[in-house]
Amino acid sequence: MNMKNMNYKRAAGLAVVTALFLTGCSEKESKIAFTAMDTYMELTAYGDADETLQEAKERILELEGLLSVTNPESEIYAINHAGGADISVSAYTYELLDFAYTMAARTDGALDPTIYPVVDAWGFITGEYRVSGEQALSALLERVDYTAVQLLDKAVRLPDEMELDLGAVAKGYAADAVAEIYADAGIASGLVYLGGNIQAVGSKPDGSPWRIGIQEPDGEGYVGVVSVRNAAVVTSGGYERYFTDEDGNRYWHILDPSTGKPADSGLLSVTIVTESGAYADALSTAIFVMGPDRAEAFWKEYRDFEMVLLTTDRRVLVTEGLSAAFTLENEDYPLRWID
Ligand code: ADP
Ligand code: MG
């Protein structure tokens, strides 16, 4: 099958960084841009922040070096190739894996950090895309089960045939690390843009909230905008990264751990707004898998995050905590509040 006509797009949740300064506001803008974790990243900070930005970039590269599934030097690679033996890991890897495990349990396995064999089979690691049949998928799913991960004292044990992928939470965790580095350096205003993951630090230099656009899937504009201070805004969508087969069927990179197939739960995208980037990242992926009904029930149970859901039938569902922060930009999408 010819998979060459694949599309690759990663610029979800584009930040509408309207740098409209009030007169008299002349704080210096520092910026650094680079690619890490397979993502174009841009860190902005106001004040004298060049050194801080360098430190933040180095931290992201350090995390990438620990968490990469393809780099033979990484800790995740070591766990995945340990043949069932215990692998000692750094505090960062341990903390993130522990967090991913907790979130997998909380989302009833909608997020599953052991999904790697299936992600790899679809070609999302190598870029050599292929469609897997039912039989192949059910064989692969026997190797997916987060409850088999054993978190020992500073070490991890994973059954021989299983493999980890923290791709659904790594950028959110990295964004939290950057926000902490900003805070330690006394930076009160900045924007951390890691692809679909945005971390708004403080307010804009003029004191107004950061405005983050929620992209119209396959469109040019924004469906809506959220205005936030000190918050993570993380979007997961099937339109971010996918390939198309000869018949025009699309296969995207967020998989349903119960079927092994691209999650097709009635959502085009999920945007989570909450304080922690890691929490937002875990939830954006998990809720994309859950679909709108389970998402609503989940939100009603926890209420410690807000969300904007775009459904496949082009409706917008927004939780009530965003009533002051969310504005609809495209009237073609009917809006319903969840409360
Ligand atoms: P992105 O990394 O594109 O911002 P996500 O945060 O939603 O998007 O993470 C998607 C990545 O997580 C996939 O590329 C894959 O590596 C992995 N993944 C896919 N489905 C799941 C899942 N159900 N649970 C955990 N990880 C997943
Ligand atoms: Mg995610």
Ligand nearest to the CA of 9: 1
Ligand 1 centroid to residue 169 C-alpha, Å: 8
The reply to whether ligand 1 has any atom less than 6 angstroms from the CB of 289 is yes
Ligand 1 centroid to residue 98 C-alpha, Å: 17
Q: pLDDT, tens digit, for every residue of 22-47?
A: 434 568 999 999 999 999 999 999 99
- Please, what's the largest Cα pairwise distance for the chain? 65
Confidence of residue 9 (pLDDT cuts 50, 70, 90): very low
**Residue 150 φ then ψ, to 5°:** -110, 120
| Helix, strand, or coil (residue 111) | coil
Q: pLDDT, tens digit, for every residue of 278-335?
A: 999 999 999 999 999 999 999 999 999 999 999 999 999 999 999 999 999 999 999 9
Q: How far apart are the first and last CA of the chain?
A: 47
Residue nearest to atom 5 of ligand 1 (CA): 168
188: which residues sit within 8 A by CB, 6+ positions away?
46, 47, 201, 202
Neighbours of ion ligand 2 (CB under 5 A): 168, 281, 284-285
Say how far apart CA 5 and CA 223 lie, in whole Å: 27
The reply to whether ligand 1 has any atom less than 6 angstroms from the CB of 168 is yes
Confidence of residue 339 (pLDDT cuts 50, 70, 90): very high
Say how far apart CA 268 and CA 24 lie, in whole Å: 42
Q: pLDDT, tens digit, for every residue of 99-133?
A: 999 999 999 999 999 999 999 999 999 999 999 99
What is the predicted pLDDT for the residue at 220?
84
Q: How many CB atoms lie within 10 A of CB 193?
A: 23
Q: pLDDT, tens digit, for every residue of 152-194?
A: 999 999 999 999 999 999 999 999 999 999 999 999 999 999 9
What is the predicted pLDDT for the residue at 12?
39
Does residue 11 surpass a pLDDT of 60? no
Q: How many CB atoms lie within 10 A of CB 134?
A: 10
Say how far apart CA 182 and CA 168 lie, in whole Å: 23
The reply to whether ligand 1 has any atom less than 6 angstroms from the CB of 187 is no
Instruction: List, as one string, the DSSP characters of 199-233.
Output: EEEE--TTSSPEEEEEEPTTSSSEEEEEEESSEEE
Ligand 1 centroid to residue 256 C-alpha, Å: 10
Q: What is the pTM of this model?
A: 0.93
The reply to whether ligand 1 has any atom less than 6 angstroms from the CB of 260 is no
Residues in a beta bridge with 194: 41, 197
What is the predicted pLDDT for the residue at 310?
98
Say how far apart CA 13 and CA 209 lie, in whole Å: 17
Ligand nearest to the CA of 12: 1
What is the predicted pLDDT for the residue at 5?
33
What is the predicted pLDDT for the residue at 323?
98
